């Protein structure tokens, strides 16, 4: 017997993602933290993926009460470049040999990109 649909991994960006990873990506989409390329890819996928569409609608409903209370703020010039540079430096930290053996790897990194996902 196949597991319920909500428990099965599905594909996004051509990679297998878990429901938790799909939900996190939907949250980033609603918050507006994705690059334009990633946002476009998610919007395209959403049209063909009812689970992703549902997750996006659920996140939008969660954040709706906050939307009317918070004024948009434009970040200072260069802030995103500095954040990405800091994240890139963190990503370059090398793990000791064998440290990742036996651990499940995630196809979505902490930055929300899957292997093969559109880059920023």
Confidence at residue 26, expressed as pLDDT on a 0 to 100 scale: 95
Residue 51 has pLDDT above 90, yes or no: yes
In angstroms, rounded to a whole number, what is the distance separating the alpha carbons of residues 23 and 11?
13
Comparison of pLDDT for 45 and 6, the residue scoring more: 45
| pLDDT one-digit tens code per residue, 61-119 | 999 888 778 888 888 999 989 988 888 777 666 666 665 554 444 444 444 444 444 44
pLDDT at site 110: 44
When the pLDDT of each residue in the chain is averaged and rounded to a whole number, the result is: 75
Q: 45 and 15 in contact (C-beta within 8 Å)?
A: no
Mean pLDDT, to the nearest integer, of 12-28?
85
Q: At what angle do helices 36-48 and 19-31 cross, to 10 degrees?
A: 120
> Would you state the pLDDT for residue 71?
83
């Amino acid at each position: 017997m196949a597991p319920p649909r909500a428990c099965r991994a599905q594909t996004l960006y051509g990679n297998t993602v878990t429901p938790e990873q799909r939900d996190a990506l939907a949250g980033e989409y609603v918050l507006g933290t994705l690059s334009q390329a990633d946002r476009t890819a998610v919007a395209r996928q959403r049209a063909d993926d009812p689970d992703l569409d549902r997750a996006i609608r659920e996140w939008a409903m969660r954040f709706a009460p906050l939307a009317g209370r918070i004024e948009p703020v434009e970040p200072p010039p260069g802030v995103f470049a500095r954040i990405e540079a800091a994240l890139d430096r963190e990503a370059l930290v090398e793990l000791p040999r064998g440290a990742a053996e036996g651990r499940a790897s995630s196809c979505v990194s902490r930055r929300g990109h899957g292997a093969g996902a559109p880059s920023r």
